[in-house]
Amino acid sequence: MPEPWTVKRRVMRMVFESSIDSYPNEFAALLKVNKKGVISELVLLPGTLQGRRSAVFALYMMPISFDVVGTVHSHPTPNCIPSDEDRSLFQRFGDVHIIVGYPFNERSWQGYDKVGRPRDVVVV
């Protein structure tokens, strides 16, 4: 089993708050790691479209960075299971992905690997 990814608590708080602010639309951002390999920042891409059923990244706006390791987005329902579109994005971009479901709190999210299998992500 692979080592779990780790994410800073402040990053998850920002994801929860951003998801609440975007509701009923989806929130979406990229995940960036620090030198220790901990997810420590969100990258908000200009031009990302947020809708009630999807969020579409403007990946052409992504900065050139090897520190971006995956994505995070919200679902405006309690369902954190990745859709077919989510799995397609996961396979094309990054190794770790987080989906946050309504009500956007510590108990309403799940990490996934690049093919959409649940993956442990530890909050530190």
The mean predicted confidence, pLDDT, of the chain is 88
In the chain, where the domains are located: 5-123
pLDDT above 50 (res 1): no
pLDDT for the residue 102: 97
Residues known to be catalytic: 26
Q: For position 76, what pLDDT does the model report?
A: 93
Q: The whole model's pTM is what?
A: 0.88
Candidates 3.40.140.10, 3.20.20.70, 3.30.70.270, 3.90.1150.10; correct CATH number of 5-123?
A: 3.40.140.10
- d(Cα 49, Cα 96) in Å, to the nearest integer? 21
pLDDT in tens, 46-78: 556 565 666 665 565 566 666 889 999 999 999
pLDDT at 68: 87
- Read off the pLDDT of residues 91-115 as tens digits, 9 standing for 90 and up: 988 899 999 999 999 999 999 999 9
* Confidence (pLDDT) at 10: 98
**Residue-wise burial string across 4-34, b where 16 or more C-beta atoms lie within 10 A, e elsewhere:** ebbbeeebbebbbebbeebeebbbbbbbbbe
